């Protein structure tokens, strides 16, 4: 598998979990980073997945990615599966190395895509055997905007390990969070990036806090907006009610601390944070963007609000914080849906179906390289 880095973010986490599942299913998997390794690299290595850094800088490497091509020639993978951010470089290298099965996974889009993005995707797709979309809205974008043929696209939703993410009432919340918890907890696990729109969540939580003054907002993650978000949290309407945990490895324990999970993104593919919250049995409030509505079954497995609507979000948070029964029901429905429809093993098996179909039902035996 080829991707830019192994930072702890949605695409990188799901790619790592896919690599581990394929390894457990008996396949030899190598993950290649083109920019830097990142914190997930050591976890993958411990799980028996080889991780290599193959620097591929500059625009010209989209045409002639020499080092990556040489890597594929040396390792002779059956499959190269690239991921968002390295599409053209990875598939060009795979074709130059005569890899028999070349796949790319589209994980999401930027809030505003550059004008040239559809053209670049269309060009990249010409070197790609199959394009995997993690959600139906992304599939529609590939069909309608990029103009890819329907036969070239497969939808494979992201999967979650329900053995790790599961509900448990026996969690020491103050110990896990590292902060006093006088009331109910609203949590969010997401990098501090403009696309995640934490400002909306902070503004809405400030309103909800008028009705629930002991509620606590826990923000898990790190990123470029950390300083500005911390400044907002020090304002009088939020002061003392927001906890920043930093980037944490024990997110499964943190989800179990949340009475409500909130995600206020401007755009999403198939959100790993929502899947993790679903599997943990959280009551979820999320903006209705990308694949989030499908994950939450149109609102049956969680509460959906329009993107950017602080009044709607504040209203939902206020209502659900005041209704123990509603929170419990949504949590139970979300957990059942995660187990039934979004298991990590099922995701890996669907990827294998794509690979085997392209290889003419030949066994996928030598290696699967994820780019």
pLDDT tier, 364 (very low <50, low <70, confident <90, very high otherwise): very low
H helix intervals, 80-163: 87-96, 117-125, 136-144
8 A C-beta contact, residue 30 and residue 367: yes
Same domain (yes/no): 321, 221? yes
Residue by residue, DSSP assigns 311-366 as HHHHHHHHHHHT-HHHHHHHHHHHHHHHHHH-BHHHHHHHHHHHHHHHTTT----S
Question: Containing domain of residue 56, as a range?
Answer: 2-159+345-370
Same domain (yes/no): 146, 229? no
Same domain (yes/no): 130, 107? yes
Instruction: Work out the average pLDDT over 5-25.
Output: 91
pLDDT for residue 368: 54
For the stretch 290-311, pLDDT in tens is 889 999 999 999 999 999 999 9
Q: Is residue 57 part of a domain?
A: yes
Instruction: Find the helix packing angle between 66-75 and 87-96, rounded to 10°.
Output: 50
Q: What is the pTM assigned to this prediction?
A: 0.74
For 291, the token pair is: 């694949």
Half-sphere exposure of 26 (CA within 13 A, CB side): 5
Same domain (yes/no): 364, 251? no
Same domain (yes/no): 249, 211? yes
Same domain (yes/no): 210, 122? no
For the stretch 29-58, pLDDT in tens is 999 999 999 889 999 999 889 999 999 888
Q: What are the angstrom distances between the C-alpha of 156 and each of 12, 152, 291, 363? A: 16, 13, 12, 20
pLDDT for residue 370: 53
Same domain (yes/no): 143, 225? no
Number of domains in the chain: 2
Same domain (yes/no): 276, 320? yes
Taking the C-alpha atoms of residue 228 and residue 306, their distance in angstroms, rounded to an integer, is: 24
Same domain (yes/no): 202, 56? no
Give percent of the chain with pLDDT exceeding 70: 96
Residue 370's H or E segment, with its range, is strand 368-370
Residue 362, pLDDT > 50, answer: no
Average pLDDT, the chain: 92
Backbone angles phi, psi at 281, to 5 degrees: 80, 30
Which CATH number characterizes residue 188's domain?
A: 3.40.50.2000
pLDDT for residue 108: 79
8 A C-beta contact, residue 258 and residue 284: no
For 12, the token pair is: 């990188």
Same domain (yes/no): 337, 364? no
**The total number of residues written for the chain in this structure:** 371
Between vectors from CA 20 to CA 269 and to CA 94, what angle results, nearest 5°? 70
pLDDT tier, 361 (very low <50, low <70, confident <90, very high otherwise): low
Q: Is residue 165 part of a domain?
A: no
């Amino acid at each position: 598998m080829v991707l830019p880095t192994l930072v702890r973010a949605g695409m990188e986490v799901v790619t790592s979990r896919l690599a581990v599942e394929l390894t457990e299913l008996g396949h030899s998997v190598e993950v290649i980073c083109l920019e830097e390794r990142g914190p997930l690299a050591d976890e993958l290595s411990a799980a028996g997945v080889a991780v290599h850094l193959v620097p591929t800088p500059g625009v010209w490497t989209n045409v002639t990615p020499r080092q990556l091509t040489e890597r594929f020639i040396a390792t002779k993978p059956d499959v190269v599966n690239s991921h968002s951010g390295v599409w053209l470089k990875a598939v060009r290298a795979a074709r130059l190395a005569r890899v028999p099965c070349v796949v790319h996974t589209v994980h999401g889009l930027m809030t505003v895509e550059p004008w040239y993005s559809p053209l670049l995707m269309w060009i990249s797709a010409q070197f790609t055997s199959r394009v995997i979309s993690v959600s139906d809205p992304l599939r529609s974008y590939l069909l309608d905007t990029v103009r890819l043929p329907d036969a070239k696209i497969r939808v494979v939703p992201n999967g979650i390990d329900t053995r790790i993410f599961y509900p448990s009432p026996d969690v020491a919340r103050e110990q896990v969070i590292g902060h006093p918890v006088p009331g109910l907890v609203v949590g969010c696990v997401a990098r501090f990036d403009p696309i995640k729109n934490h400002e909306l969540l902070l503004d809405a939580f400030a309103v909800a806090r008028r009705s629930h003054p002991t509620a606590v907002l826990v923000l898990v993650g790190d990123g470029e907006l950390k300083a500005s978000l911390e400044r907002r949290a020090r304002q009088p309407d939020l002061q003392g009610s927001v906890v920043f945990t930093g980037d944490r490895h024990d997110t499964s324990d943190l989800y179990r601390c949340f009475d409500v999970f909130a995600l206020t993104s401007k755009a999403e593919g198939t959100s790993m944070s929502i899947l993790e919250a679903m599997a943990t049995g959280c009551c979820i409030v999320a903006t209705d963007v990308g694949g989030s509505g499908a994950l939450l079954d149109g609102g049956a497995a969680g509460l959906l609000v329009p993107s950017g609507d602080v009044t709607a979000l504040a209203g939902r948070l206020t209502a659900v914080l005041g209704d123990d029964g509603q929170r419990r029901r949504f949590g139970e429905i979300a957990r059942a849906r995660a187990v039934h429809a979004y298991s990590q093993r099922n995701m890996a098996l669907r990827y294998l179906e794509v690979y085997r179909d392209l290889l003419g039902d030949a066994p996928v035996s030598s290696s699967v390289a994820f780019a």
